[in-house]
Structure 1
Amino acid sequence: MFEARLTNATILKKILDAIKDLLNEATFDCSDSGMQLQAMDNSHVSLVSLVLRSDGFDKYRCDRNLTMGMNLGSMAKILKCCKNEDTTTIKAQDNADTVTFVFESQNHEKVSDYEMKLMNLDQEHLGIPETEYACVIRMPSLEFAHICRDLAQFSDTLIINCTKEGVTFSASGDIGHANIKLAQSSNVDKEEEAVTIELQEPVTLSFACNYLNAFTKATPLSTQVQLSMSANVPLVVEYRITDLGQIRYYLAPKIEDDDN
């Protein structure tokens, strides 16, 4: 038997919004430690990794390891049927070919349940090596979303340059050139508004704007975003979900080609 309950459906809706544009379908691996999802996006360019810890749920039970392949579009349709403040429970029997979503209103007067067919998805687990990154940037997630959106108007490539002075986001295209520079902020009253940089060595890398903009769909999950970069390894964009887990996106840098 598997059962995971959250007293607020909003968080589940936000998590789904953060991944459903990149993934049509995905496998949730459930164990007594929590739920995990790891999948390449539809075009096999980026990787999405989601971890939801069992102790972050209001109730969590997983008698034996369970793999649930879900169509995320169908799951999104089901979640539209519940109100944000509804208690949401995900249930499945061992070896079941369906999963049930139960929504309960705050006053307990309305209970709805929706059953969804599970899929057999052939998804290999990719080992993500532990990496020491040359630079780790923490900044307000809303600021990062605005930067990605604004600079995408100039180019389909965003260049991130990190030095001890700060981090610069830039883009060049037919209409001109744009630079946004953020210095480290030390004396910020609110921690979520701080920009901090841990730097081993300066890094400059280029990334596809459309993927970065897809990653920023996770902005409602966290006030801060963490960017980890090193030469020749994928960028990691991480959003921490308070008390529940985190979502990480991995994106390989663009190799600048003179012919492009």
Structure 2
Amino acid sequence: MLEAKLAEAGTLKKLLDSIKELVTDANFECNEEGLNLQAMDNSHVALVAVHLEAAGFKRYRCDRPMPLGVNLSSLTKVLKCAKDDDECTLKAADEADVLNLVYEAKNSDRIAEYDMKLMDIDSDTLGIPDTDYDAEIKMPSAEFARIVRDLSALGESVRIEVSKEGVRFASEGESANGSILLKKEGEIPPVKTDKERKAEKARARGEKPEEDEDEENDGDDEKPKEKKVKKEKVKKEKDADEDVEMDEDEKDEEEFKPNSDDEGEKSEPEEEDDEEEESGKKRKKKANGSSKPAKKAKTAKGKGKAKKEEENQPYFEFGMNSHVSLTFSLKYLVNFSKSTSLTNMVELRMSNEVPLLVDYDFGQGFVRYYLAPKIGDE
């Protein structure tokens, strides 16, 4: 039996809106880890992979792995009956022919229930290999959507080139050509491997990466010896570096003294205020002649403007192991960009003669698109 409850139906609605034009019928593979969908478009040029984690649901139960064959356009129509903030519960019995959807309103006692017929879809899940890419681009999803939308008005394809100069999107049409360059100053970092990326995600969740667990299991016998050697070295270093530690303490004291002086300076104006109460004329002159508060106000305004400018600037970064230049169909990239409503950031990973990966990673899962490059276009 399957029972999956989402806190907001809007998440599922946005997810289906982003893939319904590429895929018509697909299987939701349900298991203990969550819901998975993998399908190709009719021309077998693009592949869509969707994953909703079990932890992202308010309540999740799946007794055994089961497929749910769904027509995405029909499911979209049923989901339109729910508000974005309604709680959505998906229910299906073992070997059931019907998917039950329940919408619960948060601000009222309204409960809506719908049944949708399931389909028998024969589809083989493709094993997507772990690939180490030569270039990686991370940018705002809205900026990516704008670029592909603007260039699609000029031509049918776009050339994405990653070099030391930056990332260039170029399109050539019959009447006009267009090129957009995203530059970033500084050194270009290398692209992280697939293992490093998985290890980072595991650490972010508070889990131990597989590599760390393997090292712990393999090095159990060697660790006690290493610890003893390290302890002896630490003792010797402590004996040899006692003078250095004293010097650092003296530096800390020296750094602390100016703070005490500042406190003394702060106390002096209080004495001056007492004297100013006795002589009202001096107090007026000092109040009129003091320009320090005005300067502070100006600097505060300047900092606020700088922060606003930093927030308005698009966040962009990229890594590169080698020069990459590939050409793709803009029609598909425009369809991919419909996932912008799910997350603010998008990642593009590229390698020569390898499909492009467009990754939209949001809090409850991810949507990944794989697009084959065009061959023969310069």
**TM-score strictly above 0.5:** yes
Over the aligned positions, Cα root-mean-square deviation in angstroms equals 1.8
Matched, 1:222 2:339: no
Q: Deviations 1:130-178 (Å, cap 9, x if unpaired)?
A: 1110001000000000000000111101110111221000001111210
Q: Return closer, same or farther for 1:239/1:222 CA change in 2, 3 Å cut-off.
A: same
* Structure 1 residues 59-101: Cα deviation after superposition (integer angstroms, max 9, x where no partner): 1110111100100000000001011111101110111111111
- CA offset at residue 191 of structure 1? 11
Q: CA deviation at 1:190?
A: 5.2
Match of 1:122 in 2: 122
User: What is the rounded CA distance, in whole Å, between the counterparts of 2:310 and 2:11 in structure 1?
Assistant: 27
The equivalent residue for 2:328 is: 207
Equivalences for residues 7-156 of structure 1 within 5 A: 7-156=7-156
2:82 alignment partner, SS class: coil
Cα distance in 1 between the residues matched to 2:312 and 2:37: 29
Instruction: Give the TM-score normalised by the residue count of structure 2.
Output: 0.66
Cα distance in 1 between the residues matched to 2:10 and 2:56: 14
The answer for unaligned runs of 5 or more in structure 2 is 187-306
Report SS of the residue matched to 1:12.
Answer: helix
Q: 3-state DSSP class of the match of 2:39? A: strand
Question: 1:114, 1:15 → 2: CA distance?
Answer: 19
Residue 127 of structure 1: how far off its partner (Å): 1.1
Cross-structure match for 2:2: 2
Matched, 1:251 2:374: no
TM-score, normalization by structure 1? 0.95
- Distance in 1 between residues matched to 2:114 and 2:140, nearest whole Å: 37
Q: Which residue of 1 aligns with 2:200?
A: none
Greater relative contact order, per chain length (Cα 8 Å cut-off, separation 6+): 2
| Partners of 1:91 and 1:100 within 8 A in 2 | yes
Instruction: Tell me which amino acid in the other structure corresponds to 2:141.
Output: S
8 Å CA contact 2:327–2:377 kept in 1: the answer is no
Higher helix share: 2
Contact 1:192 1:223 in 2 (8 A): no
Q: Which runs of 4+ in 1 moved over 3 A?
A: 185-193
- Supply the AA of the counterpart residue of 2:8: N
Q: 8 Å contact 1:46–1:250 — kept in the other structure?
A: yes
Output the CA distance in 2 between the equivalents of 1:200 and 1:191.
30
Instruction: Give distance in 1, aligned partners of 2:58 and 2:312.
Output: 27
Q: Distance in 2 between matches of 1:63 and 1:108?
A: 32
The answer to whether the 8 A contact 1:23-1:41 is kept is yes
The answer (yes or no) to whether the contact 1:185–1:195 under 8 Å persists in 2 is no
- Aligned pairs, how many? 257
Q: Quickly say closer, same or farther: Cα 1:180–1:88, change in 2 above 3 A.
A: same
> Letter of the aligned partner of 2:146 in structure 1?
H
Question: d(CA) in 2 for partners of 1:184 and 1:89?
Answer: 45
Q: Percent of pairs identical after alignment?
A: 45
Deviation of the 1:40 alpha carbon: 0.4
Q: Which has the larger radius of gyration?
A: 2
Letter of the 2:330 counterpart = C
Q: Give how far 1:7 is off.
A: 1.4
Local SS of the residue matching 1:83: coil
